[in-house]
Structure formats: structure tokens, C-alpha cells
Amino acid sequence: MRFFYVILVLFLILPSSLFAKSINENKKERFDFGIAISANAPFVNERKMYVNWVETNKPSNETKMAGNISIFGRVNIKKHYLQIETGNSFIRDIVTLDLKDFGYSTNKYINSKNFAITLDIPIIYGYNFIKKNKYELSLFGGPKMRYTYHNRENIEKLSGISFNINEDIHPITTCFLIGMSARMSRLFVDFRYEFAITVHNKPGTYSLYENNVLISEGTFYAKRGINLLSFSLGVIL
């Protein structure tokens, strides 16, 4: 979290210093407000996985499409802008685990379908390297705080096998995003990619039964971050 606050302070101070001269020259600042919807795809960064604190093979992940809706406010000064957003993201993915890593006798794979809803608050600095009449093309980046207030894991049912995971998450995580935006009149589109800084999951526990007989149980820790690719379509109100 300290790293996030440092980035946040820099992104508040640096643009202000860049804008100071422009503000003195022209007191007329332009404010924009708008709404955007997007399609997103998570790319889960499986950093390490531990079973009973012994490092095992990383699980595989399948990306599933989901979406986001957000509102934002922006202040424009010449070719620069500072934008603050708030919105909800819906994130889906499928994690495939090998039960052999959990003490099963042979390789047997099981899927966990994950679904999360997050409250997102990014602070973005952007620069319009093309700004002519009603057309703008910009690059942007900035820190983002993600608050996960709903998280669900559905583990696949296998015949004769009961596999359970009790895993908590860090409700607040941080990431850094970069992207490109194109605007024509009141409509805009943007592409962005978010790099996870902090870890999403906490250590948890697991149990594995076959025909109601305990095979193994213990601690489980999937150290992962959630990177996110998104495409947005929005309108300036």
C-alpha cells in the first residue's frame, strides 16, 4: 500500500507542476464529465503456488470476458488532462488445478470458476499528442485502487471426489494502468492494460476426499495478481 500512496502523491504533484504555467497564462479551465462502459478480460498472474508451504506447479488460467461501467471527471489544460474515475468491474476466470499437487495418486484436473465484483478508483494523467478541433488522440497512465466487495469460487464436482478450498482475499489491491484514447466530438474509445502491483489472495486451507475418505488437507496459497485488459466506449455529458 505504501507504494500505491507514493505513486498517488506523484501523480497529484507532477501534473500540478506541469499545469502551473498554463494556469497562470489562462485561468479558463475546461472540465469534462462522462460515462463509459467496457468489455474486459483478466490475465491472472500466477506468481507462485504453495501446498502445505511447499512450492508446486503453477495452475493454468482461462480468461473469460466480463465488463465495467464507470463515471469520470476530467480537467483539461492545453494538451494535458487529469482524470478521476469511479466504477464497478465484473471479473471472471477459470483456474485449473492438478489434484496430484494436493496428494492425489495420479494427475487429475479440477476447475474452479471465479467471479468477482470490484469498486475501482483510478487517477489518470494523460497527454494529447494530437488535439485538433473536436478530435483528440492521447496516451495516459496512472495508479488505481481496486476494492473487491464480492468474490465467489465454484469448484467443479468430480465423481467420488470432494475437493474444497477455503481461501480469503485482500479486499483492497492496487495496480498501475496505461492506455491510449481517441475522442471525436463527445464520443471516445480507449484501450487500457492494468498491471497488478499487490497480491489478490491470502493463504487458506484445503481438504481432499475420495469416497468420503480423507486423502490430504492443509494450507493452500496461490500468490496471484489480476492484470486486466479492457476496451471502453464512452460519451462526454
Q: Of 115, 62, 91, 60, which Cα lies nearest the Cα of 229?
A: 91
Contact (CB, 8 A) for 157 and 144: no
- C-alpha distances (whole Å) from 156 to each of 1, 64, 206 are 34, 16, 14
**Which ranges of the chain would DSSP assign to H, the alpha helix?**
2-25
DSSP classification of residue 78? T
Residue whose C-alpha cell reads 464436482 in the numeric block: 157
Q: Which domains, ranges and CATH numbers included, belong to the chain?
A: 2-236 (2.40.160)
More confident residue, 71 or 22: 71
- pLDDT at residue 207 above 60? yes
Residue 18 has pLDDT above 60, yes or no: no
pLDDT surpassing 70 at residue 29:
no
What's the mean pLDDT in 106-134? 93
Mean pLDDT score, 201-228 = 93
Dihedral-angle region of residue 142 (phi above 0 means left; psi in -120 to 50 means alpha; beta otherwise): left
Contact between 115 and 92 under an 8 Å Cβ cutoff? The reply is: yes
- pLDDT over 60 at 232, yes or no: yes
> Parallel, antiparallel, or unpaired for β 161-166 and 204-210?
antiparallel
What's the pTM value of the predicted model, to 2 decimals?
0.81
d(CA 3, CA 105) in angstroms, rounded, equals: 43
Instruction: Answer with the residue of higher pLDDT: 79 or 13.
Output: 79
**Identity of the residue numbered 56:** T
Closest Cα partner for 97 from 230, 224, 228? 224
Residue 45: predicted pLDDT: 87
Averaged pLDDT of the chain = 87
Confidence band, pLDDT 50/70/90 cuts, at residue 44: confident
Whether residue 11 has pLDDT greater than 50: no
**pLDDT: is 182 or 9 the higher one?**
182
pLDDT of residue 20: 46
> What whole-number distance in Å separates Cα of residue 203 and Cα of residue 49?
10
149, 123 contact by CB (below 8 A): no
> Which pLDDT score, from 0 to 100, does residue 159 have?
87
DSSP, res 157: P
Calculate mean pLDDT across residues 17-40: 67
- Percentage of the chain lying above the pLDDT 70 cut: 88
Res. 21: pLDDT tops 70: no
CA 184 to chain CA centroid, nearest Å:
27
**pLDDT above 90 for 28:** no
